[in-house]
Each structure stands twice: as C-alpha cells, then as structure tokens.
Chains A and B, each alone.
Chain A
Amino acid sequence: AQRVTQPEKLLSVFKGAPVELKCNYSYSGSPELFWYVQYSRQRLQLLLRHISRESIKGFTADLNKGETSFHLKKPFAQEEDSAMYYCALSGNTDKLIFGTGTRLQVFP
C-alpha cells in the first residue's frame, strides 16, 4: 500500500534556526515525491518535487530510498516560512497520496 507519514503535527523554531520537516513513505516501486505548502489564507501550492533537484525559497529535499524518506530542510528559517507543509507521493496511479501535514511556526 502507498502511504506517506509526517510524524510531526507542529514544529516550532526561532528565526535563523535550521528546519527539518520529516516525511517517510511506503511504496514498493520507484516513487515521485512532492512538497506542497499552504500559507495562511492562501491555496495549496507546489513547493518542490524531488525530480527537479532544485532549491525553492531556500528549501531542499533529498530522496533517500534506503530510509524511504524525503525530508524538507532549510538552513535558516524565516518568519515568512510559517505555513502548513504537506508531503505527497505519486506512484503508479493518477492520484497523489498526501501526508497529514506539519505546521511550521517560526518565531521572531
């Protein structure tokens, strides 16, 4: 079965601190993984996907097939990073499987 696990419901850090939002997946094939972000009062939007291997807004995520993880990282958090973050998996279907989300709070 395809599954995405985000173990933290809430992650609170101070501005300038490093951030790591955890995502683990369960899928027997070759996964495609995404991070979506939802800022307050805005719609969900794609932050990054693993196949692009790029950094968006200072965030990066590396697919680790051995640990079945796709953690989202940023070395120095900013207040504007405060949002809800969802990890999502696309397998061999036309659907995305989303995790339960992690709310990131960045305090000044």
Chain B
Amino acid sequence: DAGITQSPRHKVTETGTPVTLRCHQTENHRYMYWYRQDPGHGLRLIHYSYGVKDTDKGEVSDGYSVSRSKTEDFLLTLESATSSQTSVYFCAISSGGRGSYNEQFFGPGTRLTVL
C-alpha cells in the first residue's frame, strides 16, 4: 500500500459538533483528495488540493472545509456535523495531473457516524 494513513479510523459524534479528519502521506505526492462513499452514490469528491495551501471544491463541498499547510497532511473539517454527513471518508493521493497520470492511491478510510 502507498504510504497513506487516515485518522481516526472510526468516529461517532453528535449533531452540531465539529469534526476533523486527517490524511497523512509519506509519498510526497502533489495532489490529495477527500471523497465520501455512500451506497447508491459511489465515490463523490468533497475537496481536493493541488499543492500546499492550494485547494478547490469538489462535487459535494457544502458543510466541509479543508486545509493543507504541509505537503504530507490534508485535513477535512466538518464545522457542525449533521446526520447527512454520516459516511465513509476516503483520502487519496496522486503524483499529478490529468489524463492517464491521474492514478490515485487510496487510504484505508474513516467511518464517521453522526448521531
């Protein structure tokens, strides 16, 4: 497996509380991505980063924010968690770019439950 870890691996929280998920890589890849995986929806992109302090929104970014202060870390924050954000969250990394170069390597996932 590529050097990607996610923490925590499991979390149960209550509606309205802030939650931060961490993705850490040791591959020095430029691109990092956050997805959520839900039955019937597959993988949907939340936010991604194309460099330190460079981020952009994905398909389902509402209610989420991200930060990348170092190449190796990409944080996903739910400012005020809602039950609709109960999901499995995956981080992915890529060395670059577009087309056939966009092979992404995935972390193990974080299962988040919002009560």
Within 8 A of A (CB), among B83-115: 90, 92, 94, 96-100, 102-109
Task: Decide yes or no: A94 and B100 within 8 Å by CB, A9-B40, A44-B90 being known contacts.
Answer: no
Known: A46-B105, A99-B42. 10 other contacts (CB 8 A): A43-B108, A44-B90, A46-B103, A46-B104, A49-B103, A86-B43, A91-B99, A94-B50, A96-B102, A98-B43
CB pair B98–A43 under 8 Å, yes or no, is no
A100 to B106, CA, bound (A): 17
A residues sitting closer than 8 Å to B (CB atoms) are: 6, 9, 32, 34, 43-46, 49, 51, 86, 90-96, 98-101
Residue among B1, B90, B94, B99 having the largest count of chain A Cβ atoms under 10 Å: B99
Residues of B within 8 A of A93 (CB): 98
Residues of B within 8 A of A51 (CB): 100
Question: What interface size band does chain B fall in?
Answer: 20 to 34
Residue among A32, A93, A95 having the largest count of chain B Cβ atoms under 10 Å: A95
A6 → B minimal CB distance (Å): 8
Closest to A9 in B: B40
Closest to A95 in B: B45
Residues of A within 8 A of B58 (CB): 95
Residues of B within 8 A of A96 (CB): 33, 45, 102, 104
B26 → A minimal CB distance (Å): 15
CB pair A94–B31 under 8 Å, yes or no, is yes
Residues of A within 8 A of B42 (CB): 6, 86, 98-101
Residues of A within 8 A of B94 (CB): 94
A44 to B104, CA, bound (A): 9
Residues of B within 8 A of A94 (CB): 31, 48, 50, 94, 96-98, 102
A-B pairs, 8 with minimum CB distance: A100-B42, A44-B106, A98-B43, A90-B102, A32-B99, A51-B100, A32-B100, A101-B42
Residue among B43, B96, B108 having the largest count of chain A Cβ atoms under 10 Å: B43
A49 → B minimal CB distance (Å): 6
Residues of B within 8 A of A34 (CB): 103
